[in-house]
Amino acid sequence: MRPLLAAALAPLLLMAQDPVEIARSKTFTEGPVFDRQGNLYFSHREGIYKLTPEGELIDWVQDAEAGFNGHKILPDDTHLVCAAKKSAVWRFDASGRYLGSASSEWDGKPLREPNDLTLDGHGGFYFTDPGGSRKEPSGSVYYVDRRGRTQRAAAGMIVPNGLVIDPSAKFLYVAETTPNRILRFPIGAPGKLGPMQVFATLPRRAGHQAVPDGLAVDTKGNLYVAHLGTGHVLVLSPEGKLVQQLPGGNYDVSNLAFGGKDRSQLFITGSVGYRADTEGRVFRLDLKGVRGRP
């Protein structure tokens, strides 16, 4: 598939104000997610913060050794968090108490570095495991069913990262970071994915490492891509066309979550400069004409 070019952008779909900074961290931020009470959780190098609707920032979990990243909340308020440095997906209750591992191995082999996850509508979830795949295409997507059984759903990727299911539940999108592209997999049944398709190849930025990280989707099926090293959130149509570039606030835009009363606000994590060297921020982008999927 030919690369998407900024010059070929379709007419703007969304109206957006400038990003508003809502939280700071000393380090790179990732994994934003909202609970039903409107609290925002996001990870950083020392653990996980909880930001209340009133603006109070709380150390929800402190653990500098876990490498927390992707984060989702189940209907029973159990939190699922990718603990990359512990080679597992961990469970927490609403108070931040550790409940054990939701997945730590497949076929008798330990996981490598779980990165991000997304819930399906059948009580299960998919997660990416890119560990070791910078040198060879060994990255995988796994599925954990409602009984807690882990199976491999797809393999052969180079640094699979963010992932999300489209509103029709027919496709799973996966950000393949190093090749700077978005993959799409047809969903045949829970945990059963069809052949890998290249959905979109993303624009590059001269002199910068421009690669995709986290993903989100709206109710119309548009895909939102956190594009590291560009300061932008890319919006792709359901056909894979680049239709808009939204300001991400951060230089290294890492992950995305829709929130607010009608989910017309996009919350963006990352860092003000290169992620290894600069402070982290969380920005809010107020949109019009869009409703995000939780």
Dihedrals phi, psi of 259, to nearest 5 degrees: -155, -165
Give which of 265, 266, 269 is closest to 116, Cα–Cα: 269
The pLDDT of residue 10 is: 40
**Its pTM surpasses 0.75:** yes
Are β-strands 192-193 and 109-110 bridged in parallel, bridged antiparallel, or unpaired? Answer: unpaired
Secondary structure letter of residue 3 according to DSSP: P
- Its sign, for the CA torsion 138, 204, 233, 242, is negative
| C-beta separation of 102 from 123 below 8 A | no
pLDDT in tens, the chain (294 residues): 334 443 344 444 566 679 999 999 999 999 999 999 999 999 999 999 999 999 999 999 999 999 999 999 999 999 999 999 999 999 999 999 999 999 999 999 999 999 999 999 999 999 999 999 998 999 999 999 999 999 999 999 999 999 999 999 999 999 999 999 999 999 999 999 999 999 999 999 888 889 999 999 999 999 999 999 999 999 999 999 999 999 999 999 999 999 998 999 999 999 999 999 999 999 999 998 899 998
Tell me the domains of the chain and their CATH numbers. 6-288 (2.120.10.30)
